[in-house]
Every structure is written in C-alpha cells, then in structure tokens.
Structure 1
C-alpha cells in the first residue's frame, strides 16, 4: 500500500507520531509486522517496552490492555505476540508457501551477537543458530527432510536444499 520510496518515512511516523492513535498491546502485533516488512525488523527488541513494563509491575501473565495503571493480569493471549515474533521476526523462520511447503528464513537480530531456536514443522523441526565472532556470522540451519528454504541475509538470498547448512558470512 506504500510506495517503496515512502516506506522509511511511514515507518518512522508510526513509531514517533504521538498524534496517531497508539496501538494496544494486542494491536502491536500488526504494527510490528508492518514495521518489519518496512525494513525496521532489526529494531524489534527495542519495541517491547509494554512487555517489559508488565514484568516490572509484577504481572505473571500479559495484561489485556497497555495501560498498566488500570489493568489486572488476565492472561490474555492478545498480548502474547512476542512468543511467535521471537521466532518469526528475530530468528526469521516463516512459512513461504501454503502448508509451510517452503520456508523463508530472514532474521532480524538487531544488536544480538548470538541467537538460536527451533520450531515445529509438518515434516519435523526447523533449527537455526546465529553466532557473531570476530566480525563473522556463523549460521547453522537444520531443515526437516524433503523441505527447502531460502535464507535472506543482508539483501542476498541463499537457497537451502539440504537438511543441514553451515555458513560463515562477514559482518
């Protein structure tokens, strides 16, 4: 919906323009997806203030609304989007075809130097691990049998057609 040339400005306004209606904890899921699509995914871990505040307030489950001064801990799944976004946005594991027939791996690690995780897949598990050492990223990706994927990294695409892939890429 937005011209590529305007994307950066639109994303900046979504984050900084307080005259816009602010997203609730529930709707931040959609905001974060839009910002990641707009090229801001490496900032994802900086957008988790409401979740950090839930923890600081002593809540043991996510609140229903973002205004923590008037809420109670209701265990709302609406506020649980980081549970999936750590995998989809930070680790970058996402479906790239109906039924997860293809996998897209496009991590947004921000300032992280090390991250790893695995998710279930209809054919098994998808495992990824990223480690930055001495200016080089060691990337390890395990795919289920008979599954293909593409790794998108710094504007380049790497076709992954085997179960285990090890890459070393300069920072």
Structure 2
C-alpha cells in the first residue's frame, strides 16, 4: 500500500530498488503455481502441472518462442477444469493430482 513498483528491500524502514531478484515471484507464478515448464529441448513440448495450494483459480499468459501459452484454470474438490491454449507446433501434457491429459496446439478445454 506504499506505492512500490518493485519488491521492497527489507521490512521497515524500507525502500524499493530495482534489482533482478524482484522479478523472482513472477517466475514462480508461471513455473510453480501455473506449473508451465519445458518438457523437451527447445520448448517444443510443454508440461503444465499446476500447484494451486488453497487458490481456487489461476490464469496467465506465458511468452513462448512460437507464440503464447495461455491457461485459465479453476480448482474445486480435488478437480480442475478450464481452458489452455498452446502455440502452433507445440504439444504437451497437463498433469493434476496424479492424472494426465495430452495437449495439442491451439485452444482446448481441460478437466481432470
């Protein structure tokens, strides 16, 4: 609520500097919470294995060498449903709670 544009350096008294580690939470949002990671060399395939914890929804768009990976997911009672879109020429696997679903290029609905 102090209007910072970057991660604060320390608790009070604090200031906000521009350091590379300030972007670390953004990396983990996509790689850990949404679970989007390369599954093969060159990112030709992707694994999406979200770890929502207590969150009921996660959404985001990740830049990929061939376009964008988009995910809009909802979690309820140990199940997940939503939409995923992969760039042309990219395939993948969606994993949640020990179950897997194959992904193709383009928009698609997922549910496990």
Q: Report the Cα offset of residue 137 of structure 1.
A: 2.6
Are 1:96 and 2:39 counterparts?
A: yes
Name the one with the larger helix percent: 1
- Counterpart CA distance in 2 for 1:145 and 1:85 is 25
Q: Deviations over 1:105-141 (max 9, x none)?
A: 0101111112211111111111111123687532211
- Counterpart CA distance in 2 for 1:144 and 1:136 is 25
Which residue does 1:145 correspond to in 2?
Answer: 88
Superposition TM-score, scaled by structure 2 size: 0.82
Name the one with the larger strand percent: 2
Are 1:164 and 2:107 counterparts?
A: yes
- Counterpart CA distance in 1 for 2:107 and 2:53 is 25
TM-aligned CA distance change 1:145 to 1:59, over 3 Å: same
State the SS of the aligned residue for 1:72: coil
Q: Report the Cα offset of residue 75 of structure 1.
A: 1.6
- Counterpart CA distance in 2 for 1:158 and 1:144 is 17
Which residue does 2:28 correspond to in 1?
Answer: 85
* Higher RCO (C-alpha 8 Å, min separation 6): 2
Which residue does 1:132 correspond to in 2?
Answer: 75
Which sections of structure 2, spanning at least 5 residues, go unmatched? none
Q: Count the aligned residue pairs.
A: 111
CA RMSD of aligned residues (A): 2.2
Which residue does 1:118 correspond to in 2?
Answer: 61
- Counterpart CA distance in 2 for 1:158 and 1:68 is 43
Which residue does 2:97 correspond to in 1?
Answer: 154
Q: Report the Cα offset of residue 96 of structure 1.
A: 1.7
Which sections of structure 1, spanning at least 5 residues, go unmatched? 1-54
